[in-house]
Amino acid sequence: MNILGISGAVSHDPSTALFIDGELVAAAEEERFIRDKHAKGKYPYEATRFCLEHAGIRPADIDVVAFPYAAIPLSSRARWHYAARHWYAPDRALDALFSGNRRFHRNLRKTRKLVEDLGIGNGNARIVPVEHHLAHASSAYHLSGFKEKTAILGIDGKGEYATTFFGYGENGRIHKVKEFYDPDSLGGMYGAMTEYLGFEMLDGEFKVMGMAPYGDPKRFDFSRLIEFDETSFRVNNRLINVVGLRRYKDAAGKGYYFSPKLVDWLGPKREGDEIDDPYIDYAAAIQQLLEDVALGLIDHYLGDILRETGKICYAGGVALNVKLNQRIIARPDTKELFVQPAASDAGTALGAASYVANDLGETVQPMRHAYLGPCYSTEQCIEACQQHERQPQWQHIDDVTGCAAKILADGNPLAWFQGRMEFGPRALGNRSILGAPNVKGIAERINEQIKYRERWRPFCPSMLDRVAPELLLTDHPAPYMTFTFDVAHDWKQRVPEVVHEDGTARAHVVTRDANPRYYALIEALEKLTGNGVILNTSLNRRGEPMVCSPTDALNMFFGSELQYLMMEDILVRKQA
């Protein structure tokens, strides 16, 4: 059976995933094709076309279209909770009670239009809605490969009304244990503070997490943001997660998800790119609060399951908070944590399709890698060079990994473009900017001259699987750059450019099976430097989506101070 998953129901991060007979064969985010980060307000037309073309099937061959947004009945506690908590904004409260499925019908119309415009199913494809948090849960559980009874965690801003999901999976079925509803949202709380700290919600949460290790979480008491008693929580929506007239507005009239009362308490909203006092301590405090509340809830709602089998899987935007993930792994009852690499709303395309596939009796195959997007041949890369306005000079390379390793060992950053594009926010060695992590200053150079982003932002190490246990002091799987680990003392001195302020690294453990060329490159670099580790960040500039095509790579190359670009079997360079 051919099942298409379509996300975009929450007005950002639209994507498409395709399952054929229970196997995930293609997935891509719309932003990569239309070059508009998060593609807000768009639907995944180009991503859908790609998935069908890659699989070699016609639009008419699709049997089912799943999308991650469902109707919530008036009898549900969710709508009543939302109305009661938004009493100060009567329009929102009354809308939840009397027109609570308006967004569902809007999303259904958009999905039907996409199906009609692309001729999917020749008008015969079933369209199946899936609750947003069930889609997140399925993207983690059904693709984890876990066979035991598995704890399932979902934390994000919100879907229809739910914000936080606790459940378990057993024998292929997902069971809800507890949900929390908007405005009581851990993701919303962190997102509101992200805005206050001067970053964009949905994009800047990583920056808050990266800023936090520079601060002292004990300097400020943030407990007034949330009431928490180990079994439940209630966000203070006089300060954060606010709507309507409670929102703080800047001089230009832009509204934020925090109130003027927060500014009265903490001071002016942060501006600029520096990590300054007291904002670094605010970042540390909100990170600590998120971790403490989430871990308390996990213990209460999922502790029994973890003590039984030790397996837990996790999705939702907050699942990309790698510091929280490190603490989940550190629980004595956690044997293995699987975080869906596309944990944000883009991944709900996977989840909606996998949920429906399982519901229809198909056996969903575990996710083997995240290389699910387009690939391009060397000939296509050459053609892109020939057609590019800058007329780049290129050279065919016989020993690609050896040549690339030499460039890196000599202290140069390298743009690295090969294979299928990654699905999710992390570059995993196919659309990457690379550096040798023993080269002093390489991280700051990439931040300032290539990525054009805050100079204090950390970088991640990709490492050989045989090196990882020694460097990370654990053999816990880490194939998707979704966890941080403490770095062994001697390795901190060997690869300082990928070790963060707190002595941790967001690790990507590479296997030869998953990515043979990238593995060979790290091996070649190891021969030159003695370290089977490489600095890895996404191939894009600040505010842009990750590169998709050879033309995108060339545009990024000429729009930065990069000197070397390896695309499949050709090397493009600016210098003679």
DSSP for 321-352?
-HHHHHHHHHSTT-SEEEE-TT-SGGGHHHHH
The domain of 451 spans: 378-573
Taking only the tens place, the pLDDT of each residue in 446-500 is 999 999 888 888 999 999 999 999 999 999 999 999 999 999 999 999 999 999 9
Strands 15-20 and 564-567, by their bridges, are: unpaired
Q: Do residues 132 and 236 share a domain?
A: no
Note the pTM of the prediction, 2 decimals: 0.97
As a whole number of angstroms, the distance between CA 42 and CA 36 comes to 10
Q: Do residues 43 and 124 share a domain?
A: yes
Mean pLDDT to the nearest integer, 60-72: 97
Taking only the tens place, the pLDDT of each residue in 239-265 is 999 999 999 999 999 999 999 999 999
- Judge whether 518 and 429 are in contact, CB under 8 Å: yes
Domain assignment present for residue 309? The answer is yes
Taking only the tens place, the pLDDT of each residue in 131-152 is 999 999 999 999 999 999 999 9
Q: Do residues 272 and 407 share a domain?
A: no
Q: Do residues 321 and 353 share a domain?
A: no
Domain assignment present for residue 526? The answer is yes
- Judge whether 342 and 351 are in contact, CB under 8 Å: no
The CB density around residue 218, as the number of other CB atoms within 10 Å, is 10
Q: Do residues 300 and 192 share a domain?
A: yes
Strands (E), 21-80: 23-29, 64-67
Q: Do residues 129 and 250 share a domain?
A: no
Domain assignment present for residue 366? The answer is no
- pLDDT at position 274 is 83
Domain assignment present for residue 211? The answer is yes
Q: Do residues 329 and 457 share a domain?
A: no
Q: Do residues 197 and 129 share a domain?
A: no
Domain assignment present for residue 150? The answer is no
Domain assignment present for residue 266? The answer is yes
Q: Do residues 309 and 351 share a domain?
A: no
Q: Do residues 128 and 235 share a domain?
A: no
Q: What are the residue numbers of the active site?
A: 12
Q: What CATH number has the domain bearing residue 263?
A: 3.30.420.40
Q: Do residues 346 and 404 share a domain?
A: no
Q: Count how many domains the chain has.
A: 3
Give residue 123's pLDDT band: very low, low, confident or very high (50, 70, 90): confident
Tokens 């199906």 label which residue?
115
Q: Do residues 209 and 332 share a domain?
A: yes
Q: What CATH number has the domain bearing residue 461?
A: 3.90.870.20
Domain assignment present for residue 166? The answer is no
Domain assignment present for residue 11? The answer is yes
